[in-house]
Amino acid sequence: MVRSIYYSHFEKEFSQLIRENLRKKQKILFGRETDDEIQITVDDKKRVKETVTMYKDTVVKGWMGIYRLSGLPELIRIGYETGIDSKNPQGFGMFEIEK
């Protein structure tokens, strides 16, 4: 049985995995990978909500809330266009930009 580990925004692995995911996508899309940092932080911890859903007999956890992304604009754009997590082919990890 395969078990998935879902990190929350409280854990350092959360930002690290998002950064690694975006760098891999950058390499696939543009043939290069950057060393630039990208940070994701919670804007309002009181408004973050954990969600749990089933997708093809698999439990998927996620967190909805208002976050701040900072870093290389190209990586942020890749995240916006493709999603920022490993389950983005299933439609997870999508976000909208607030102004």
Task: Indicate if the pLDDT at residue 27 is higher than 90.
Answer: yes
Dihedral sign from CA coordinates of 80, 84, 86, 91: negative
Distance CA 60, CA 55 (A): 7
At 80 the pLDDT is: 92
At 77 the pLDDT is: 92
At 1 the pLDDT is: 56
Distance CA 48, CA 44 (A): 7
Q: Could you report the per-residue pLDDT of 49-85, keeping only the tens digit for each?
A: 888 888 888 888 888 888 888 998 999 999 999 988 7
Task: Please check whether residue 15 is in contact with residue 39, taking contact to mean a CB–CB distance below 8 angstroms.
Answer: yes
Q: What is the fold of 19-90? A: Alpha-Beta Plaits (3.30.70)
Beta bridge partners of 67: 42
Residue 42, H or E segment? strand 38-42
pLDDT above 90 as % of the chain: 15
